[in-house]
Amino acid sequence: MGPGGYARFIDCSFDKANIEHWVCFAVELVGCTFSGRLDKVVFNGTPRPEDVDVTGSPVNRFEGNDFARAKLVDVGFRTGIDLAKQRLPTGDEYTLLEDAKTAVRRARIALNAWEDPESKKRARGVLAVMEQDASAGQSQLLIRVDDYPRPARPAVQALLDAAQAG
């Protein structure tokens, strides 16, 4: 699902909505509530260069949204969305890395020290996505280990644990 052009949602309720394959490049969400399942969704804090003329702004407003009762499956917050300005789901399945750059640095050091080539292989792609998101302006990362194939989950969890070690 992708709205054509620019869309702004203010104080909307997506109560018990199942949203799949929604890639938001020129979408603003302010004060919205989600309580269903979001699956394969990407929210961007900045529009693509070709969308700036349509949006009239170099940033997508994204604040005050409540995802606390939503199930986020393979959901990405990218390019500068301040996760501190959202209510996020909590629980053991979600890992919030509040300082993405530091977390990525710690994870990279840990990964480089691992002896097991299979674990390295399974975690390398996750670290690449983390690095890409952090370098594209995402200051915090929300990661759900269960979004990855079952055999990779122990390596992904070890990577996230290393990212949080301090």
Mean pLDDT of the chain: 94
Amino acid at 6: Y
Give every strand in the sheet of 37-44, ordered side by side.
Answer: 18-24, 37-44, 71-78
Amino acid at 70: A
Residue of 141, 40, 41 whose CA lies nearest to 95:
141
| Residue 125 confidence (pLDDT) above 70 | yes
Phi-psi group of 165: left, alpha or beta (phi > 0 → left; psi -120 to 50 → alpha; rest → beta): beta
| Residue 1 confidence (pLDDT) above 70 | no
Q: What per-residue confidence (pLDDT) applies to 51?
A: 87
| Residue 3 confidence (pLDDT) above 90 | no
Domain boundaries along the sequence of the chain:
1-89, 95-166
In this structure, the strands spanning 27-30 and 7-10 are parallel
Backbone angles phi, psi at 161, to 5 degrees: -60, -45
In which band, very low, low, confident or very high, does the pLDDT at 52 lie, cut at 50, 70 and 90? Answer: confident
Mean per-residue pLDDT for 58-77?
97
Q: What is the pTM of this model?
A: 0.92
Q: What is the pLDDT of residues 6-28, one digit of tens each?
A: 899 999 999 999 999 999 999 99
To which H or E segment does residue 102 belong?
helix 100-113
Cβ atoms within 10 Å of 162's Cβ, excluding its own: 19
DSSP 69: T
Residue of 110, 86, 128, 95 whose CA lies nearest to 166:
110
Residue of 148, 81, 77, 133 whose CA lies nearest to 159:
148
